[in-house]
Structure 1
Amino acid sequence: MSIHDLEAFPLHTNNSETTSSQLGCEKLPAMKAKAAEDQRKIDHATAEIDRLEGELRALRAQPGSPERDRKMTPLSDAVVDFQTRRYQLSNKLSQLLDDIRELESRCIKQA
């Protein structure tokens, strides 16, 4: 759900009574569950980045060899992939949390 979806739920209607359903308040639990899921994905990506960077440090500590160099490239690529994924997830989570705060504010005002 984006802020644009929330605009479909106006605070004021012609009959001066806005229900929680009209605001979309019933969507809050699902949105919060999605935010928790996204946070778990970010935590997993961070753990993978840490693990892969540890492997890279261990390889760099070894004397140079074709075998070492062969292993480093895919590890470096994997780190970049996980960093990109974490960045994208963090942006999505940030937007979702903003949407949750906006919807919560609307629902509180209605209550």
Structure 2
Amino acid sequence: MTGTPYPYQGPEELRQPILAALRRVVDPEVAMSIVDVGLVYGVTVEAERVKVLLTMTSAACPVVDVIVDDACTELDKVVPVDQRIHVEVVWEPPWTTDRMSDRAKAFMGW
């Protein structure tokens, strides 16, 4: 996971732009980046697509569509035009507060 707080497979030149794009996506319920909250489970860059695995803090999350749409919008700014963006919401393993960055934990007062 060198250089990213989640598993990344793909060209090194896309690692940081993708990370920056995902950091711009905010979970509106906690007003923090989805990266800091620990919602990004992994990114795989293939020849024709960029696949992002996201989770939510709860299966009843009312803003899942907003987060997915925002992730697609931000990724579209940095991903080569010939690659499709696929954001998949997964529930396994379940999200826990252990996934949060130190910054997010401090922000929450933990």
Higher relative contact order (CA closer than 8 Å, sequence separation 6+): 1
Q: Give me the TM-score of the superposition, normalised by structure 2.
A: 0.28
Larger Rg: 1
Structure-1-length-normalised TM-score: 0.28
Which structure shows the bigger proportion of residues in strand conformation? 2
